[in-house]
Amino acid sequence: MEKQAVLNVVESFFAGISSRRPPFVAARELIIPDAFCVFSHLDELWVNRLDKTMDRIESKVHAAMGSIKEFKEELTQPGPEIWVTGDLAAVWTGHQTLIDGNRVAQSIKLISLHKTATGWKICGVADSQQAWGCKVLKEPEPEMLERIYATCKSAADHHWDSTITFCLTGGGKTSSRRHGGGLVSSTWPEMMENAKEPPVGKSDSTAITDIDVRVCGGFGFAWTTFVIQHDGGTAERIVAAIMLLKDSGKWLITGCQDTSLSLEKGSE
């Protein structure tokens, strides 16, 4: 049921910007405005907040409306594949843009969503046109796996200095903390500045309990579950959607969305 609800939101978002004149009010209602978006296209790399990305899309569509009859955004193969745990979800899917029935762009997209009081909202988007048509792999390259493990460890250690060196500039993280209240979106530098040090005399250990990876060319995604065990005996389970892009032969983390769950209560 939740997977279908998540897919409905993603499809409704693209329907909200198809064959309509800006502003895309209905589509904007389905996003977390200050969350992050990364487009890796053949002619550019776009990194910005979702609200700024919507501004850009509206501007481009408005400029083209006089010369086209139909503009359509839709999901296609491969996928969609959907992951849901607690209040976090992710959709890995093919995507295409049609103008007057002709395909003008195609890509692989990873769309993350958080469940809010008013339903599922898109809280992260990454895509790559370069990855289109390649084989979908489920085994990560060693360097990609190292990046994922380092990200999980940084979350447990509250120390991001070593991780930020392989985070894409301009990207960031959107976190849900059920017991801390609400969603928080931060750029990588903001996240480092706001990170709290562990209590004096306490230390954390981290164990990844599950990881599911998808890779197309230089575009990657990991759905990861890891447990943080505190010396005081408490534990929390973190579920994270981690987006990666290969740039100049090196894997970079472009974005991350996560949620903190009670280990004892599971994912509900």
Q: pLDDT of 41-93, one tens digit each?
A: 888 999 999 999 999 999 998 898 888 888 899 999 999 999 999 999 999 99
> DSSP character for 182?
S
Task: Find the mean pLDDT for residues 185-209.
Answer: 72
Mean pLDDT, the chain, integer: 88
Q: Are 172 and 191 in contact (CB under 8 A)?
A: yes
Q: Residue 180: what pLDDT?
A: 56
What fold characterizes domain 142-262? Nuclear Transport Factor 2; Chain: A, (3.10.450)
For tokens 């505190």, the residue is 230
- Is it the case that residue 125 has pLDDT exceeding 70? yes
Lowest pLDDT segment from 56-65, 150-159, 160-169, 233-242: 150-159
What's the CA gap between 58 and 215, in Å, rounded? 30
Tokens of 144: 């990609």
- Is it the case that residue 209 has pLDDT exceeding 60? yes
- Is it the case that residue 184 has pLDDT exceeding 70? yes
Sign of the dihedral through C-alpha 44, 45, 47, 53? positive
Note whether 2-128 and 142-262 share their fold. Answer: yes
What's the CA gap between 256 and 161, in Å, rounded? 16
- Is it the case that residue 264 has pLDDT exceeding 60? no
Query: Residue 235 pairs with which residues in a beta bridge?
Result: 229
Task: Find the mean pLDDT for residues 217-238.
Answer: 84
Domain map (residue ranges) of the chain? 2-128, 142-262
Task: Find the mean pLDDT for residues 224-228.
Answer: 88
- Is it the case that residue 155 has pLDDT exceeding 70? no
Task: Find the mean pLDDT for residues 16-23.
Answer: 88
Task: Find the mean pLDDT for residues 111-139.
Answer: 91
Query: Residue 172 pairs with which residues in a beta bridge?
Result: 187, 255
Q: Are 65 and 21 in contact (CB under 8 A)?
A: yes
Q: Say which CATH class 2-128 falls into.
A: alpha beta
Rounded to the nearest angstrom, the gap between the alpha carbon of residue 150 and the centroid of all alpha carbons in its chain is 18
Q: Residue 216: what pLDDT?
A: 93
- Is it the case that residue 202 has pLDDT exceeding 60? no
- Is it the case that residue 95 has pLDDT exceeding 50? yes
Q: Are 154 and 66 in contact (CB under 8 A)?
A: no
Q: Which string of DSSP letters, residue by residue, matches 52-107?
A: HHHHHHHHHHHHHTTT-S-EEEEEEEEEEEEEEETTEEEEEEEEEEEETTEEEEEE
